[in-house]
Structure 1
Amino acid sequence: MVQGNMRIHHQNNTRPKRSLPKRLSKKFWLYLVIGCLVLATLAFIWRKLDAWGHQLDVFMNKLQRQTGFVVEEVLVDGRQKTDKNHLLKTAKIHLKRPILSLPLSEVHDRIQSLPWVHEAGVERHLPDTILIRLKEHVPFALWQAGQKVSLISSDGKEIRIENPDHYAGLPKVVGVGALAQAKPFLVTLEKYPKVWKNFHYAQFVGKRRWTIFLKNNLKTRIDLPEKNYVSALERLQKYEKKHKATERFKHIDLRLKDKVIVKK
């Protein structure tokens, strides 16, 4: 019996061994040690500088007190509406404080936050005086949005004060969005004396148009169009000369172009 040749393949199931990580180089350890030393040195220097800075501040403050460079007087120029005590309290300027250590920019920002202040300037007059220059808002009108009533300045800004009722004699506008539109509208309205002398208040309707309410016997209401209300007022003025509409009608509607609609 002839036996054929048989090839036997031996499969090697053993996985190749992973090579062990090479040892870290001496340069790496050297750089690591140097880096740690640098960080430690910087941290030490930072702490020292902070301590030295504090000691320097203490020394400079003491030197200023000994030489008379301290705040002895605070002068205020241009103050009319702003309460002086409130001003000084907000500014945080204390007498006998070293004058060169007073941060003028921070003082300025605190003063600028006061409701009546439009522009502020703070000056250091050595050796012992601080001068505050104020330019205050000028009240122009009242603005009511919901239950909240504020003042409007002559430059169209809101003045938030506690008692705007003291300015009840000013013209009033009502409604959300009225603040931004109030000044140009009221300035225009002043040019029409028949309406202006009986003006009670104006309501900004739907953030897009004005309705005027008069304080005459009829409490007349005047509806202005969304666009070109100046042309509508001109039309009313001509109609008023002939028909005395504001003395005869409770409702005057000017919303339609070239028309005056009146109702008793």
Structure 2
Amino acid sequence: MLSVSAKKSGGKRKSERPAAVLADEAGLVLPRPFRRVARFVIALCAGKVAVPDHLGKLSFLAYCVAVGGYGIVQGGHWPVVEQAMTSTAGFAIEDVKLSGNVHTSEIDVLQSLGLDGTTSLVAINADEARRRVSELPWIQSVEVRKIYPRTIEVNVKEREAYGIWQHGSELSLIEKNGSVIAPLRDNKFASLPLFVGRDAEVAAQDVDADFDGWPEIKARIKAYVRVASRRWDVHLDNGVVVKLPEEDVGAALARLARMEGEEKLLERDILAVDLRLPDRMAVQLTPEADQRRQAAVAARTKAVKQAEQRI
């Protein structure tokens, strides 16, 4: 009995031995994390593991999805696919709440956002939308908020028109710092001061501030004309031109205001008042006033001569 038992125990087949023993006899020891995998692979190849009926179809479908997804991402089509998927899921933008706009139309804002009725709120990039809206002429700053599931909120702050700049035959609206806002298209800004000439938009703020101390004269100004990028000619509502000096404009205006208060200079028949020299003021008469003055001078000269002859 003893000999028979020993024979049975020593006669175990090699294929029934553990995988770790077989790997040890072959001189190869797998790391512990891979031993279970190795046993599963061996069992799968030996047909000891039951494979689900539709595993092949599911594997093929997963492969197609992976390949298709990779192609979409690499080809740059993911934004379109994302928008289509999320719009179908109920995230298409249906309401745009716009506030703060006075001179900017809603249509311009919607076009800048790129909304076409099927745009997805999920797919839209708020930073990119903010950048596109800020490129509109009147926009100074803009805030874009996404309110799920179907609303986008746009709050804009517009630039403030300070004056009208005429350069050549074109008219443009400008800010106080001289930045051009947009071309002048209508007459609703006709009350703004007009600045004419090269570099006039840059120096507009300074010359306008020079007249702040003389509101009576400033109210009569129709246009500021820049001369040689150095000084200004000011055109009044009655056609009189006031020629300002390059420097010390305040002192020149003080002299003009004094003459206006004492002599009503600007109401007389004159064409221009020249204030460019600090020690004198030159006045150019209208042709009619000049003729009357010459006639008066001639009559006075004649009267003087007649008086001399009598003596």
Q: TM-score range by the shorter chain?
A: 0.7 to 0.9
Equivalent position to 1:188, from 196, 210, 228: 210
Secondary structure at 1:108 match in 2: helix
Residue 224 of structure 1 corresponds to 244
> CA offsets, 1:2-43, max 9 Å, x none?
xxxxxxxxxxxxxxxxxxxxxxxxxxxxxxxxxxxxxxxxxx
> CA offsets, 1:63-114, max 9 Å, x none?
5335433312111110111111122113212333221211222222221221
Supply the AA of the counterpart residue of 1:144: Q
Supply the AA of the counterpart residue of 1:121: E
Equivalent position to 2:159, from 120, 123, 137: 137
**CA distance in structure 1 between the aligned counterparts of 2:204 and 2:115, rounded to whole angstroms:** 37
Q: How far is 1:211 from its partner?
A: 0.4
Q: Pairwise CA RMSD of aligned residues?
A: 2.5
Structure 1 residues 244 and 58: alpha-carbon distance in aligned structure 2, compared to 1, 3 A threshold = closer
Structure 1 residues 162 and 224: alpha-carbon distance in aligned structure 2, compared to 1, 3 A threshold = closer
Q: How far is 1:198 from its partner?
A: 1.7
**Any conservation in 1 of the 2:178–2:204 contact (CA below 8 Å)?**
yes
**Any conservation in 2 of the 1:71–1:98 contact (CA below 8 Å)?**
yes
Aligned residues: 216
Equivalent position to 2:99, from 68, 77, 94: 77
State, as a whole percentage, how many aligned pairs show the same letter: 27
Secondary structure at 1:123 match in 2: strand
Based on CA coordinates, which of the two structures has the bigger radius of gyration?
2
Aligned ranges 1:70-219 → 2 under 5 Å: 70-161=92-183, 163-216=185-238, 219=239
Residue 242 of structure 1 corresponds to 262
Secondary structure at 2:280 match in 1: coil
Structure with higher RCO (Cα < 8 A, 6+ apart)? 1
**CA distance in structure 1 between the aligned counterparts of 2:169 and 2:163, rounded to whole angstroms:** 16
**CA distance in structure 2 between the aligned counterparts of 1:171 and 1:58, rounded to whole angstroms:** 49
Secondary structure at 1:200 match in 2: strand
**Any conservation in 2 of the 1:140–1:153 contact (CA below 8 Å)?**
yes
Supply the AA of the counterpart residue of 2:134: Q
**CA distance in structure 1 between the aligned counterparts of 2:72 and 2:89, rounded to whole angstroms:** 24
Structure 1 residues 89 and 213: alpha-carbon distance in aligned structure 2, compared to 1, 3 A threshold = same
**CA distance in structure 2 between the aligned counterparts of 1:182 and 1:138, rounded to whole angstroms:** 15
Structure 1 residues 262 and 71: alpha-carbon distance in aligned structure 2, compared to 1, 3 A threshold = same
Residue 274 of structure 2 corresponds to 253
Q: How far is 1:206 from its partner?
A: 0.6
**Any conservation in 1 of the 2:274–2:283 contact (CA below 8 Å)?**
yes
**CA distance in structure 2 between the aligned counterparts of 1:171 and 1:141, rounded to whole angstroms:** 5
**CA distance in structure 2 between the aligned counterparts of 1:188 and 1:73, rounded to whole angstroms:** 49
| 5+ long unaligned stretches in structure 2 | 1-67, 286-311
Residue 302 of structure 2 corresponds to none
**CA distance in structure 2 between the aligned counterparts of 1:214 and 1:124, rounded to whole angstroms:** 52
> CA offsets, 1:143-195, max 9 Å, x none?
11110111123453212135144422322111011011112322332431232
User: What is the TM-score with the length of structure 2 in the denominator?
Assistant: 0.62
| 5+ long unaligned stretches in structure 1 | 1-46
